[in-house]
Amino acid sequence: MNYQFDWHLVMSGEYAQWLREGFVTTLEISAVSIVLAIFLGTVIAVFRLSKVKPLEWISMAYTEFFRNTPLLVQIFFWYFGSEAVLPTSVNEWLYAQDFEFWAGVISLTVYSSAFVAEEIRSGIFSIPKTQLEASRAAGLSFLQSMGYVILPQAFRIIIPPLISQCLNIIKNSSLVMTIGVAELTYMARQIESYTFHGFEAFTISTCLYIMISLVVSVCMNVYDKKVLRSMHY
């Protein structure tokens, strides 16, 4: 009850700079992870629907494994175990860059892409099979049919769940603070440790997360209305 609020302390000087840096890092890791997760999820979904059995089995194992293991475990796995599973050249590149950042990106990407793949697969299933058959009869290959005919329609259908997955990536990015990525939650925690004004720090960070989520939702809805629906009609 004797707590003294001090918003000026958190919103000015060095601590405000920490929040700005954390905000930028959150934007960066979220944006990269979203793009990679959508790309990888699309590939996995197409593999799952192909008639090539090894690709189908690999994609099925991929989605089941990453959807049914906790994200925090996967973050620690890629942070501590990347040397065991990634090629030496890739590990050298990661260490030459910001290793913690890219370990977080890999974790968010592989985890989220499994969910994205299932959303895309459900969108593809909603497209009548006759469209795929007609495109194949017109001389398109399986990949061309998917890229030019099926996937554009599927993405239009799955915009709402895809928005949810993008927002989940943004929110889940807060977990990479556990491996030392100086994103928004990490910086808010640092401010709390230095000032003991955790309420102010985490209130500001919460508002910033809400702002990011709202901007993403608006952008995705605008893209849906202006681009995908115009392509459909």
2 lies in some domain: no
1 lies in some domain: no
What is the tens place of the pLDDT at every residue in 18-43? 999 999 999 999 999 999 999 999 99
**Can you give the pLDDT at residue 155?**
86
Two structure tokens written together for 103 = 């370990």
12 lies in some domain: yes
| Stated pTM of the model | 0.89
Domain count, the chain: 1
**Can you give the pLDDT at residue 230?**
58
Which CATH number does the domain housing residue 92 bear? 1.10.3720.10
Q: How far apart are CA 147 and CA 109, in angstroms?
A: 22
Question: Mean pLDDT over all residues of the chain?
Answer: 89
**Domain extent at residue 211:** 7-232
User: What backbone torsions phi and psi does residue 31 show, to the nearest 5 degrees?
Assistant: -65, -45
122 lies in some domain: yes
157 lies in some domain: yes
**Can you give the pLDDT at residue 198?**
87
**Can you give the pLDDT at residue 210?**
94
What is the tens place of the pLDDT at every residue in 162-182? 888 999 999 999 999 999 999
pLDDT, mean of residues 47-72? 91
Q: How far apart are CA 18 and CA 184, in angstroms?
A: 8
**Can you give the pLDDT at residue 203?**
94
Of 118, 106, 128, the closest CA to residue 44 belongs to 118
Q: Using a pLDDT cut of 90, give the percent of the chain over it.
A: 55
Q: Using a pLDDT cut of 70, give the percent of the chain over it.
A: 96
83 lies in some domain: yes
95 lies in some domain: yes
